């Protein structure tokens, strides 16, 4: 186990700094994000103001959290389609069941995280212990979750308590709360990826047989990854309800494909074992910013999709090119 | 230690080769049987169900899914996933609707144009995947968004055209008491199965899906095969759009959207492995029929929409779990599990 854990570090030390930067998907997507931000600030006057930034954060956080959760599953070569179902379910639960005040918000958080954990545990059990294909069983759980969401709230509406919608989109000591949430998730990830579970996750994605032979408890690692992903989707749904101030049982569907786009742009490969949560979350921010940039450039809203599609392809190509450059660098 | 490890290898091999041969026959048979049982059982739910007309209606309704699933299944077979299908179906529908309305024979030209236009777009996706090494997921997702956005811009939100009587008669007409589309679908399924299972092209796809590296070493033109597969998938989606215009009498910009997840569901319920190399079209056809039967029966029950969705999801889950080809093997392994952990670390130590 320690041999597996030591390997990435050893490799990292051998590489020159430039090669390391070029090879990291998170760094490349950050560069793309900053370029877009530059374009945006040139064509929109108050683009870099605090309110704009804060707005973007609260609108982008649900996608970022969803992408963060999805990354955990993609890292081990899985697909988790239940993200759409859990976001919708957590969204309507927040809009109908949450109480007011601090206690209500805490209970609501416990409720959405619990829901996400439950769905994640079902997915994890079916994939890790029963051996179903992840895309197949998460498709079924997604459909079931959206059905439950329809039972909770059959049409867009509901009422999100002011405490939740104000505080989750507001600021704490001058720092936007969505940023704090994102940082907490990233901090948790930084700690977790150093644990046996985190190392096992990467090992499992790179080569499942090798990981099993090296003593990684493959089933438990898979199971826990689905659980953690579910919990993150739950928080994403609550954040979505807070940002939109109401619930919508169909809210999840628009996130399904965007989540995977954010993961891909963030440099996590669908062949497993490479990438991370930071890249996916910045990838999500890039996608959200892209819509604003295309709008402010005066592209007709009919055609924004063309720009979005082209930039997605370009981002993946740039990431691949820079990774290739990094590999050619002298060691 | 090498000898001690060999038996495990042999067991794994019988699972991937020996059983897969059996499942090629068993999976579609089980799916067809389930469909028939469901249709018969549906008489208890409502007396209007379970009759001859309802069977014909289910086949007609599932024909679009069968055509879309044909493309999706081939793409999944080579280890990809086609997310551009909804947009390409919509494009096919919009083109058909815009040009149809003239005499019956012009329909063939319209179909040809739709196949060529969609095939070219699919080939472009395939080229990006094969030569630029863009992940299939992201390439087809981006292509789907681009095509949809172009369709939205060109039609300004509302596709215009004329419903075609000739195209509509595929569904409303009767040959020997059945709508002509049913005979066309039988031909399509026979053609599709033959292409996939009995032509060199189809067999090459299996090789490519099992191992692209091995396929390349064996002298297959991996890049061109990939391009051809995505082109065929896109053409199939266009064909489904063409047919859907005949059924619905018009085209909308969202007509493709309800086919993405069902196409994936049909493929995976049919037992095709999402990592490629395993599965067959006849199973996807059977799964399309089963899924359509599920939704037809569920929609006739008088309950809340939420419950309907939940039941549909549960049925898919049950179908996937029940059709696992290695259920007996899994039971075996679960019973033997206590003996496995000591073996794994031992094997690891010996390799170091």
Q: What is the pLDDT of residue A70?
A: 92
Average pLDDT over residues B141-154: 90
Inspect the interface and report whether the beta carbons of B324 and A131 lie closer than 8 Å.
Answer: yes
Percentage of chain B exceeding pLDDT 70: 82
B335: pLDDT confidence band, cut at 50, 70 and 90? low
Closest residue by Cα to residue B278 from B194, B197, B162, B221: B197
Burial B71-90 (b: 16+ CB within 10 A, else e): bbbbbbbbbbbbbbbbbbbb
Q: What is the mean pLDDT of chain B?
A: 81
For the cut 80, the answer to whether the pLDDT of residue B350 exceeds it is no
| Domains of chain B with bracketed CATH | 23-328 (1.10.3470)
Residue A281 lies in a domain: yes
Mean of pLDDT over chain A = 83
Tokens of B147: 């095509």
Confidence of residue B174 (pLDDT cuts 50, 70, 90): confident
pTM value is 0.82
Nearest CB to A133: which of B150, B274, B330?
B274
Contact call for B313 and A308, based on CB within 8 A: no
The shares of helix, strand and coil residues in chain A, as percent rounded to the nearest 5, are 75, 0, 20
* Per-range mean pLDDT, top range of A139-148, A311-320, B211-220: A139-148
Within a domain: A10: no
CB contact under 8 A, A312 and B138: yes
Torsion sign across C-alpha atoms A258, A259, A265, A266: positive
CATH of the domain at A238: 1.10.3470
List the 198-227 stretch of A: residues with Cβ below 8 A of B.
212-215
Mark yes or no for CB contact B326/A306 under 8 Å. no
Residue range of the domain that includes A318 = 22-36+51-328
Using an 8 Å CB-CB cutoff, list chain B residues near A317: 132, 134
Inform me whether the pLDDT recorded for A196 exceeds 80: yes
What per-residue confidence (pLDDT) applies to B226? Answer: 94
Could you tell me the pLDDT band of residue A143, with boundaries at 50, 70 and 90?
very high
pLDDT band at B63 (very low <50, low <70, confident <90, very high): very high
CA distance B118 to A5: 48
Q: In angstroms, rounded to a whole number, what is the distance separating the alpha carbons of residues A129 and A127?
A: 6
Report CB contact under 8 Å: A308, B145: yes
Any domain includes A181: yes
Instruction: Give the Cβ contact number of residue B260 at 10 Å.
Output: 21
Instruction: Tell whether A131 is covered by a domain.
Output: yes
Sequence-distant (6+) residues with CB within 8 A of A116 are A86, A90, A230, A231, A232, A233, A234, A235, A237
- The stretch B164-182 carries a mean pLDDT of 82
Put simply, the chain A residues between 260 and 279 with a CB less than 8 A from any chain B CB are 260-261, 264-265, 269-270
Q: What is the ipTM of this complex?
A: 0.81
CB distance from A291 to chain B under 8 Å? no
Instruction: Please provide residue A302's backbone torsions phi and psi, each rounded to the nearest 5 degrees.
Output: -60, -40
Give Dmax over CA atoms of chain A in angstroms.
60
Is B175 strand, coil or helix?
strand
Q: Which residues on chain A are in Cβ contact (under 8 Å) with B268?
A: 133, 135-136, 139
Minimal C-alpha gap between B347 and chain A (Å)? 7
Separation in Å, CA of B352 to nearest CA in chain A: 10
Split into its structural domains, chain A has a count of 1
Closest CA to B270 of B334, B196, B199, B208: B196
Residue A110, pLDDT score: 92
Give how far Cα A119 sits from Cα of A82, A232, A254, A301, Å: 8, 11, 20, 36
Please give the Cα distance from A309 to B165 (Å, whole number).
Answer: 37
The verdict on a CB contact (< 8 Å) between B304 and A133 is no
Q: What pLDDT was estimated at residue A119?
A: 95
Q: What is the pLDDT of residue A140?
A: 92
Given an 8 Å threshold on Cβ–Cβ distance, is A136 in contact with B326? no
Does residue A3 sit within a domain?
no
Q: What is the least distance, in Å, from the CA of A61 to any CA of chain B?
A: 21
| Per-residue model confidence (pLDDT) at position B345 | 41
Q: Is residue A86 part of a domain?
A: yes
Q: Which of A79, A150, A309 sits opposite B145 (nearest CB)?
A: A309
User: What is the pLDDT, as a whole number, of residue B50?
Assistant: 65
In DSSP notation, B212-267 reads HHHHHHTT--HHHHHHHHHHHHHHHHHHHHHHHHHHHSS--TTTTGGGHHHHHHHH
Domain membership of residue A309 (yes or no) is yes
In a domain? residue A12: no
Q: Is B175 exposed, middle or buried (0-12, 13-18, 19+ CB in 10 A)?
A: exposed
Res B302 pLDDT > 70 = yes
C-beta of residue B77 within 8 angstroms of C-beta of residue B249: no
Predicted pLDDT at B13:
40
Instruction: Output the pLDDT for position A265.
Output: 84
């Amino acid at each position: 186990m320690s041999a597996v854990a030591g390997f990435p570090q050893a490799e990292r030390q051998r590489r020159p700094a430039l090669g390391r930067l070029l090879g990291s998907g998170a760094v490349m997507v950050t560069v793309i994000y900053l370029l877009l931000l530059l374009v945006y600030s040139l064509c929109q006057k108050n683009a870099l103001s605090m309110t704009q930034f804060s707005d973007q954060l609260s609108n982008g956080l649900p996608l970022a959290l969803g992408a963060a959760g999805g990354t955990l599953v993609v890292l081990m070569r899985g697909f988790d389609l239940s993200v759409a179902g859990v976001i919708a379910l957590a969204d309507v639960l927040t809009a109908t069941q949450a109480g007011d005040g601090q206690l209500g918000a805490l209970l609501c958080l416990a409720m959405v995280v619990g829901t996400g954990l439950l769905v994640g545990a079902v997915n994890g059990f079916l994939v890790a212990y029963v051996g179903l294909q992840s895309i197949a069983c998460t498709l079924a759980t997604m459909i079931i979750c959206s059905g439950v969401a329809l039972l909770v709230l059959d049409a867009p509406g509901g009422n999100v308590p002011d405490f939740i919608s104000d505080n989750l989109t507001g600021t704490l000591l001058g720092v936007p709360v969505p940023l704090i949430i994102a940082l907490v998730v990233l901090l948790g990830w930084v700690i977790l990826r150093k644990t046996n579970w985190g190392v096992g996750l990467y090992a499992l994605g790179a080569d499942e047989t090798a990981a099993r032979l090296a003593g990684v408890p493959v089933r438990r690692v898979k199971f826990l990854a689905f659980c953690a992903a579910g919990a993150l989707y739950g928080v994403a749904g609550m954040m979505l309800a807070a940002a939109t101030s109401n619930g919508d049982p169909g809210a999840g569907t628009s996130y399904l494909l965007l989540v995977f786009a954010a993961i891909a742009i963030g440099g996590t490969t669908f062949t497993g074992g490479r990438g991370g949560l930071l890249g996916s979350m910045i990838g999500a921010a890039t996608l959200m910013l892209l819509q604003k940039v295309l709008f402010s450039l005066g592209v007709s809203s009919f055609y924004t999709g063309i720009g979005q599609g082209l930039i997605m392809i370009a981002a993946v190509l740039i990431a691949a090119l820079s990774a290739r450059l990094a590999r050619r660098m002298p060691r | 230690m090498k000898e001690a490890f060999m038996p495990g290898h042999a067991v794994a091999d019988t699972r991937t080769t020996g059983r897969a041969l059996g499942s090629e026959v068993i999976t579609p048979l089980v799916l067809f049987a389930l469909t028939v049982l469901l249709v018969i059982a549906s008489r208890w739910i409502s007396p209007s169900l379970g009759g001859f007309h309802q069977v014909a209606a289910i086949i007609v309704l599932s024909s679009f899914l069968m055509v879309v699933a044909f493309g999706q299944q081939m793409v999944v077979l080579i280890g990809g996933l086609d997310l551009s299908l909804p947009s390409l179906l919509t494009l096919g529908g919009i083109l058909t609707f815009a040009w149809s309305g003239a005499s019956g024979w012009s329909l063939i030209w319209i179909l040809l144009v739709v196949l060529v236009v969609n095939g070219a777009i699919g080939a472009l996706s395939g080229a990006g995947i094969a030569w630029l090494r863009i992940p299939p997921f992201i390439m087809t997702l981006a292509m789907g968004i681009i095509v949809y956005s172009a369709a939205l811009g060109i039609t300004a939100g509302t596709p215009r055209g004329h419903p075609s009587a000739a195209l509509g008669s595929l569904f409303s007409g009767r040959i020997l008491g059945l709508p002509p589309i049913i005979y066309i679908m039988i031909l399509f399924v026979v053609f599709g199965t033959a292409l996939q299972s009995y032509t060199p092209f189809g067999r090459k796809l299996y090789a490519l899906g099992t191992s692209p590296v091995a396929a390349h070493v064996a002298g297959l033109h991996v890049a061109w095969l990939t391009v051809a597969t995505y082109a065929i998938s896109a053409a199939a989606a266009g064909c489904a759009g063409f047919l859907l215009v005949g059924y619905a009498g018009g085209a909308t910009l969202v007509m493709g959207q309800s086919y993405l997840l069902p196409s994936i569901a049909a493929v995976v319920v049919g037992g095709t492995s999402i990592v490629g190399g395993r599965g067959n079209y006849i199973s996807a056809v059977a799964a399309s029929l089963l899924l359509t039967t599920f939704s037809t029966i569920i929609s006739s029950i008088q309950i809340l929409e939420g419950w309907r969705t939940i039941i549909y999801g549960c049925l898919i889950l049950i179908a996937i779990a029940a059709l696992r080809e290695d259920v007996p093997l899994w039971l075996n392994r679960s019973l033997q599990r206590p003996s496995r952990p000591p073996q794994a670390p031992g094997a690891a130590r010996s390799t170091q």
